[in-house]
Structure 1
């Protein structure tokens, strides 16, 4: 017997989803947020450190024979390629073996790869472990988003998911300010400071691992995969804890659900579900991910290079500018997140994508005319990314809630991988070449490409976004196991037709 309880198969009826959704916010939910949400801080730390140390790594005496364009282009693309691969690989394992096992394994992969990046002695070693760092982070996206959406009550799900995804920018701020300290040659030698920057990621990851050990498995995953007794016990324990905390009885849960338990779902059925059963939702997921992936990967990996190339900002000072941008990015989901649960998904997703794209066009026009300085460009980016960050976070929320439970982790992985491969790999490579040319026109072109893709995502959201606010995950997309249970029920017998009375009968 596993820690989840005896595994069984059969048809079961449960109120576990309704019991989870009717819980008030509690210390238990804070534990979930802290234990799982902090991964985005690590991702923001990683991406920002690389962007800000690019110029230092290319300098003589850094310990690596590598150019700035290779760091912001090739190394960035390898990191994203690793993230795409990790999302698909670990996403499949997450749906098959559970959320908890995988969000511990993926964090361990990240820790080892980051530690090995810090001791890089050659460019090929650096590139290799940038790939494996991304591999771990990509796996985190699938496992963590699945667990968060399945554990957080429906009325809070939108804002919590957005704020957690937006916490990437807390890591970005930390990485930006850390790079200023680490790149100060009065404090650390050229070949040591950047290594210490990566080392901090290892330290933070170890702290998160200690907290994450206490985060439970998703009860929704448990009852579908034959651990209904463990799911019922886990939810009952949480209910008692919440009642002790609030001092009152919880209201009765809503509707029950009947499912046919299963161990796993094959790739063919997942693909059929995503593409055939939900084609409009699939188009929506791709549009949102491609737009935000191109914009964000291009900006985060290339902003430091723009400041150095066009405004002669010293490489050791770019972190100050990026910290300001990161603060604006975090404020977007923090201040706008509640509106995704009140005003609704469709107006907020479409609005944030369209508005950020339009503002980016204006920024490109001003940059092309030479009207901006390092400070005013940073201010423009703050305004653009205030809205774009809320929109980008909603992409993860969208694909994690609009597909059936059994395909959730793989759906996140698929759209993240495809969208990020299209925008996240090509974005840094294109952006690095355009900004390295030193021509303002080339950089304007890069801005306009990102703006166009964001506007396209917003227009598609206007028509295809799902009104998921306040709804149970099972109401947004019926689980495949519930569909199977319904299909296996015998059809009700047709009522018999009474025979006509014989001639001459009375009464």
Structure 2
């Protein structure tokens, strides 16, 4: 294919209109930019560039799944370690440190991502994760382990905000739902990797007892080392650049991406491109951020908070107490729990992968409501069967596989919802706010609540916990069905108009 002429390329270039913001300065920017760059990104076919984005950035979910699984898998090794000798309470404290780090990291790095750019932050957050998880493997005391786990969580929390916003802004609108859900589902590849790795590395015949758990934490570091150089090929988000007045750099990036597709033989349509008018800004004040989230888009905020809280409670309550149910009620030896995590992880991975396309075809509201409601009802039914002693350990594992086939797609759709329902200028921080709220309300309270129910050794008490989780999922389904946003196949700018958008008459 031949490259388009200079004239045709110029026809679609971002164009500054109106007077500059600072006409007397040496670094004047246009006050308003007229551009079709977002529309040009949405018209692209899927190609190697998008695959690179998915692999280099989507690894975040895999790393989180790995870390969460390892935290439970190495618990007994940490208690028997000659160096650490943690108590049960201290093991729980280290888990809380990781979650606290993830929450604070998401909020802090989310704010920086919207202010400084996606690209800078996804290097910083991955580097922090890499350094912290390596440091964890060299921990020498409870205090050092807690600090390093906190920093590991901060890196992962920051990754969520920078990564999800970047992926959303590069992915064509027609496949945004399936892509986002598929990436989120890789959390469970990491969980399976953590379970399998722990089964091997915690084997005392292979490594001494105090070496195995240390080697486990190096698995994530090795993956991060592989991925870090790949991110050097990913440009800054043109959408972010446009809202910050960097229209020339944004145009250059989009033209380079388009050139790759033309070199691969694709013909890119030149008509039907939507023009945007944006007023450049350096940053968005926090007061405007929270006004947008909780006043201008308060219904969307309610939907996002409901979805995030319900899935966080359901997931963390059951996943973090998974081993306790198996050992206390089914007599599964602690060192065999990993074998039951593998099929659980498989169901969770397949859900978003196989159902993801329906979120783009059937629609967001219908699929979000359906997956939340189905998983809630199935959780209540399986809880009743558990309470009535009608399930053996194999049947219980199959039941959880089926439930979380739907629940995994539901949970992934919560992240999709909060990342596409709010304006571009605050997208990363919006992800961080709802991730933090959901984790605090559902992720921290859930495991503690379920842990106490399991300590009663009464199946009826555990069934009560399952009913609470089921009720939250069904309530979230109803809220999404009533107030959810039909964002399927729509450009991000149509789902939520940028705060910097300017009407044609202005």
TM-score scaled to structure 1, two decimals?
0.92
Q: Structure 1 stretches of 5 or more lacking a match?
A: 1-5, 491-507
Deviation at 1:449, TM superposition (A): 2.2
Give distance in 2, aligned partners of 1:74 and 1:430. 15
User: What residue number does 1:67 align with?
Assistant: 87
Is it true that 1:265 corresponds to 2:284 in the alignment? yes
Q: Secondary structure at the match of 1:12?
A: strand
Give me the whole-angstrom Cα distance separating, in 1, the residues matched to 2:164 and 2:268: 30
Shift of 1:70: 4.1
Flag the structure with larger Rg.
1
Indicate the residue corresponding to 2:55 in structure 1: 34
Q: In terms of mean alpha carbon deviation, does 42-51 or 60-69 score higher?
A: 60-69
Give the 3-state SS of the residue equivalent to 1:119 in structure 2: coil
String of CA shifts for 1:149-190, please: whole Å, max 9, x gaps.
000000010000000011101101111111111222222222
Question: 1:8-36 CA deviation, whole Å, 9 max, x = no partner?
Answer: 35211000000000000011111111111
Q: Kindly state the Cα deviation for residue 62 of structure 1 after the two structures are TM-superposed.
A: 5.3
CA distance in 1, matches of 2:363, 2:405: 19
> How far apart in 1 are the matches of 2:469 and 2:214?
32
Alpha carbons of 1:107 and 1:7: their partners in 2 closer, same or farther (altered >3 Å)?
farther
Q: Return the alpha-carbon distance in structure 1 between the equivalents of residues 202 and 449 of structure 2.
A: 27
Structure 1: distance between partners of 2:156 and 2:423: 24
1:494 maps to what in 2? none
For 1:7 and 1:127, the matched residues in 2 are separated by 48
Are 2:166 and 1:147 equivalent residues in the alignment? yes
Alignment match of 1:348 (pick from 363, 367, 389): 367
CA apart distance, 1:376: 1.6
Matched, 1:389 2:408: yes
1:177 paired with 2:196, answer yes
| CA shift for structure 1 position 191 | 1.6
1:132 and 2:129 are equivalent in the alignment: no
Give the corresponding residue for 1:19: 40
1:220-242 Cα deviation digits (max 9, x unpaired): 00111121001101101111111
Deviations 1:418-456 (A, max 9, x none): 111111111222233333443323322332222221111
Cα displacement string for residues 88-143 of structure 1 (whole angstroms, at most 9, x for unaligned residues): 10000000000000011011111111112212222232222222111111111111
8 Å Cα contact 2:44/2:268 also seen in 1: no
Per mean C-alpha deviation after superposition, the further-off stretch among 261-270 and 418-427 is 418-427
Aligned mates of 2:457, 2:46 — CA distance in 1? 51
Deviations 1:300-325 (Å, cap 9, x if unpaired)?
Answer: 32212222222222222111110110
Q: Which segment is superposed worse, 305-314 or 213-222? A: 305-314
How many residues get paired?
A: 480
Task: Please name the residue that 1:57 is paired with.
Answer: 78
Deviation, structure 1 residue 362: 1.1
Task: Give me the CA root mean square deviation.
Answer: 1.6
Residues 1:301 and 2:325 aligned together: no
SS where residue 477 of structure 2 aligns? Answer: helix
**Unaligned regions of 5+ residues in structure 2, if any?**
1-26
Q: CA deviation at 1:255?
A: 1.1
Q: What's the counterpart of residue 503 of structure 1?
A: none
Structure 1 residue 355 displacement after superposition: 0.4
8 Å CA contact retained: 1:51, 1:300: no
- Please name the residue that 1:421 is paired with: 440
How is 1:93-242 mapped onto 2 (pairs within 5 angstroms)? 93-242=112-261
Pair 105,234 (structure 1): closer, same or farther in 2 beyond 3 Å: same
Distance 1:62 1:313 in 2: 26
CA contact under 8 A between 1:7 and 1:226: conserved in structure 2? no
1-structure distance, mates of 2:62, 2:187: 5
Contact (CA 8 Å) 1:83, 1:135: kept in 2 or not? yes
- C-alpha distance in structure 1 between counterparts of 2:30 and 2:322, whole Å: 53
